[in-house]
């Protein structure tokens, strides 16, 4: 159940943010991931490492003001922090034991969307994301597909 709900939260985040006007979408998401990066600072249980991961995510969030790639990297760094907190620290939501695990499952969904350039609602279909990420099938030297 944690996996399904976490994936749904990631998809809902992407869909909601796809509605944000394009000129505001990247800066808004840079601020969001910067805030997420500081979520564990008041008691994550990993000591000084909390500051190191927060600094790295904050740097990527800042660079994300002008780069979707850095927003994606910041979400993946947050995923690593979530895994560490799930295994060795305190959960991101103190009263929800598996919240860090859920966050670690949700964050890569958002990262993939960011790596695709944060497309709007009209182009957030799975096929559009595959095209944006460049995950097309291999082509022969002739430029024709394998099964065309």
Whether pLDDT at 131 is above 80: no
What was the pLDDT predicted at 4?
94
Long-range contacts of 59-63 (CB under 8 A, 24+ apart): 60/33, 61/30, 61/31, 61/33, 61/34, 61/37, 62/30, 62/34
Look-up of token digits 């460049």: 134
SS3 29: helix
Averaged pLDDT, 103-132: 82
Yes or no: say if 27 and 37 are a contact pair by the CB < 8 Å rule. no
pLDDT tens digits, 26-80: 999 999 999 998 887 877 688 888 899 999 999 999 999 999 999 999 999 999 9
């Amino acid at each position: 159940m944690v996996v399904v709900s976490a994936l749904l939260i990631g998809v809902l985040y992407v869909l909601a943010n796809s509605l944000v006007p394009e000129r505001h979408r990247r800066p808004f998401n840079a601020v969001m991931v910067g805030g997420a990066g500081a979520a564990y600072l008041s008691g994550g249980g990993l000591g000084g490492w909390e500051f190191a991961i927060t600094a790295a995510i904050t740097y990527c969030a800042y660079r994300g003001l002008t780069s979707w790639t850095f927003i994606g990297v910041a979400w993946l760094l947050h995923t690593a922090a979530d895994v560490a907190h799930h295994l060795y620290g305190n959960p991101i939501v103190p009263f929800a034991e598996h919240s860090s695990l859920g966050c670690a499952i949700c964050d890569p969904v958002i990262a993939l969307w960011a790596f695709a350039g944060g497309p709007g609602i009209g182009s957030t279909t799975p096929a559009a994301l595959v095209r944006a990420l460049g995950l097309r099938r291999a082509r022969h030297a002739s430029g024709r597909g394998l099964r065309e």
